């Protein structure tokens, strides 16, 4: 595998055409690129699926996009300089993958879980020209990672599927609920759903976002 900004694994479609879409997966804190890649076998065969590994090693096959201080309140929860650096790395990686496989932004999906979702929001809202369809699982919008002037961005092509467990003990559902409210103020298309689970992806959640993807292929 040639060296790109991030290590990754890939499932290529049998036949790539100009209609092929790209799905980039961003895992959560303490996980790795194999985690969300388990979705790949159940997703449409004509999708090119790339699962990225976060750059910080926590040991024992665990990785993080940036440091989290679990003893802090929401304000000091995340290492913001590290998160900004991770956001830029992901943005560069998206460019590299699109160039390598000749896929345009309007054929690009970005799916994140937890910390990967926080960064998916950040990338999409800073660089709406890079990726247009975002699946945001069990995360929230961190205002500190947003552009200073959202009004100067063209968000007309963005489209979000947002989901959260209503008994999530890691990221409170109240944090997640702020995302559709914020996106609505910017007239950004979004769908928000809750499921009776904790910090994870319920089977029905998977079925729903799979259908959402298929409708946009």
Comparing C-alpha atoms, which of 137, 146, 143, 203 is closest to residue 173?
137
Angstrom distance (rounded) from CA 153 to CA 105: 16
Give the pairing of strands 56-59 and 62-64: antiparallel
Domain regions of the chain by residue span: 21-215
Question: Lowest-pLDDT range, 38-42, 55-59, 69-73, 210-214?
Answer: 69-73
- Which pLDDT tens digit goes with each residue over 131-156? 999 999 999 999 999 999 998 999 99
Q: What tens digit of pLDDT does each residue of 148-200 get?
A: 999 899 999 999 999 999 999 999 999 999 999 999 999 999 999 999 999 99
- Supply the Cα-derived Rg of the chain in whole angstroms: 16
| pLDDT above 90 as % of the chain | 89
77 CB neighbour count, 10 Å cutoff: 15
Looking at the structure, give the CATH architecture of the domain made up of residues 21-215.
3-Layer(aba) Sandwich (3.40)
Does pLDDT of 1 surpass 70?
no
Indicate if the pLDDT at residue 76 is higher than 60. Answer: no
pLDDT higher than 70, residue 8: yes
| Contact call for residues 37 and 25 (beta carbons, < 8 A) | yes
**pLDDT for position 151:** 87
Cite the beta strand spans of 37-78 per DSSP E: 47-52, 56-59, 62-64
Contact criterion met (CB below 8 Å) for 128 and 153: yes
- Three-state DSSP class for residue 20: coil
**Number of separate helices (H) and strands (E) present in the chain:** 5, 9
CB 173 within 8 A of CB 148: no
For the entire predicted model, the pTM comes to 0.95
What pLDDT band is residue 78 in, cutting at 50, 70 and 90? confident
Which residue is listed with tokens 């990686």? 93
| Burial of 181: CB neighbours in 10 Å, binned 0-12, 13-18, 19+ | exposed
């Amino acid at each position: 595998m040639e060296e790109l900004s991030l290590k990754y694994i890939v499932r290529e479609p049998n036949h790539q055409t100009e209609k092929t879409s790209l799905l980039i997966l961003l895992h959560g804190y303490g996980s790795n690129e194999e985690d969300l890649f388990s979705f790949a076998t159940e997703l449409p065969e004509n999708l090119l699926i790339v699962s990225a590994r976060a750059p910080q090693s926590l040991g024992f096959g665990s990785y993080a996009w940036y440091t989290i201080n679990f003893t802090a309140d929401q304000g000091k929860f995340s290492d913001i300089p590290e998160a900004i650096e991770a956001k830029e790395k992901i943005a560069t990686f998206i460019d590299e993958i699109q160039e390598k496989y000749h896929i345009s932004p309007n054929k690009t999906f970005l799916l994140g879980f937890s910390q990967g979702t926080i960064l998916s929001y950040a990338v999409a809202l800073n660089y709406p020209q890079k990726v247009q369809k975002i699946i945001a699982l069990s995360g929230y919008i961190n205002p500190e990672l947003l552009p200073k002037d959202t009004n100067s961005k063209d968000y007309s092509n963005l489209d979000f599927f947002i989901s959260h467990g209503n008994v999530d003990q890691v990221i409170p559902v109240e944090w997640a609920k702020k995302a559709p409210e914020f996106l609505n103020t910017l007239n950004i298309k979004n769908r928000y759903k809750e499921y009776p689970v904790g910090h994870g992806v319920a089977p029905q959640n998977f079925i729903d976002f799979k259908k959402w993807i298929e409708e946009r292929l």
